[in-house]
Amino acid sequence: MEKVVMANTSSKTNRVKLASFNLFNYIEPPLAYYDFENIYSAEQWQKKQSWLAEFLAQHQPDIIGFQEVFSAPALAEQMRAAGYEHFATVGEPTVIDDYICRDPVVALCSKFPVTEVTAIEAEPEYIYGLGLNPDFAFSRKPLRATVQLPQIGLCDIYVVHFKSKRPHLDELPAPKFVQSKLTQAVNRPSAAPLVNFGELLGRNSLGQWASSIQRGSEAALLFHAMLQRRIETNQPMMLMGDFNEELTSSVLSPLTNRELRFEKEGLGELANYPLTDAYKLFQQGLQDLFGVKATEANLEEIAEEEERMLAKARASRAPTHYYGASGNVLDYILLSADFDPSFDNSVAEVCDYHTEDRHLVNPSFERDSQSSDHAPVTCTLRIRR
């Protein structure tokens, strides 16, 4: 199922602000997520919507890619009340026993007109060519929305939520929990066999690798689909979402690939196709502006906004998700060469980047108890035309 809402609104500014936001189980009661006990109370639901409303009021993004959406109509209504007239989603969650939901979807909201919405599907011939199961499908359907950006024109924006690192065990044989006969006879002669932790560890490794295969295949198939679209339309591209993996990992390497191993002729044309991390473009722009030798002594000569941006660029990149005490960047905004100033035909540049992580590193129960387990990321584009 595909949905798109359109209206005739546009921005007069030369800046476009993007955001990627994992909402963490955005579901309107009395629906429940994954288990019958996971139903928000009226107060919890109000707090979850209020947290999103506060984020919108504070950061005011023009375009937002959402993940973990169970209640798309409720989200569309909330976003419309906040001034976002354009809403798109593909697919619907799976509903079990009338109110238990699984398989949340992605969505996009925009202050600019949306002209087309489609779900990205894995093409059978490439599934076969990669040696994947014929039933292979994206764990969550990626969304492509074509948006009319001010001064730029049509731009293809993709929203994704790749497969998580949770071990994928569905296709594995039943576990072989076999206790040694000697141990069983001596210690527990009448008891059922104990769990064999070696077997558990082995199955966990297999399950994690299965998830990596799924996630990597999703990345490669999506990037191929994006390039086919780029060849067809030559429209700028954006990819945003929860990648569930560090972008530098080999599993996601197809998304930022910019090399041809054997072809050496005509490589100049290749610059039109790769994607680049918006954060990297932000850092690169500041280095070009200030030079790598900027020191504390000359910071006083820099305008207030530029000084703030330089300080942000020097700081280490903030994680967008924590697993225990370990933080990782899992949420990204990738941009085509149209937004890279080093590209001859670029139309815009990244002038700001922000990770909204207060609720993760300094949470307040009253304010953040129904927020998200991810930090939303935003980037601002300055249109150069």
pLDDT in tens, 171-219: 666 666 554 554 555 555 555 556 677 777 877 788 888 889 999 999 9
Q: Measuring CA to CA, which residue among 73, 65, 155, 78 is closest to residue 106?
A: 65
C-alpha gyration radius of the chain: 23
pLDDT computed for residue 238 by the predictor: 98
Task: Decide: 339 and 320 in contact? Cβ < 8 Å.
Answer: no
User: If you ran DSSP here, which 8-state letter would residue 112 be given?
Assistant: S
**What does the alpha-carbon distance between residue 220 and residue 104 come to, in Å, rounded to a whole number?**
22
The segments of the chain whose pLDDT lies below 50 read 1-2, 5-11, 179, 182, 292-297
Read off the pTM: 0.86
Distance (Å) of CA 372 to CA 28, 52, 257, 369, 378: 15, 10, 31, 8, 15
What contacts 251, CB < 8 A, 6 or more positions away? 212, 215, 216, 219, 245
The tokens for 139 are 């764990």
**What does the alpha-carbon distance between residue 305 and residue 352 come to, in Å, rounded to a whole number?**
10
The total number of residues shown for the chain amounts to 385
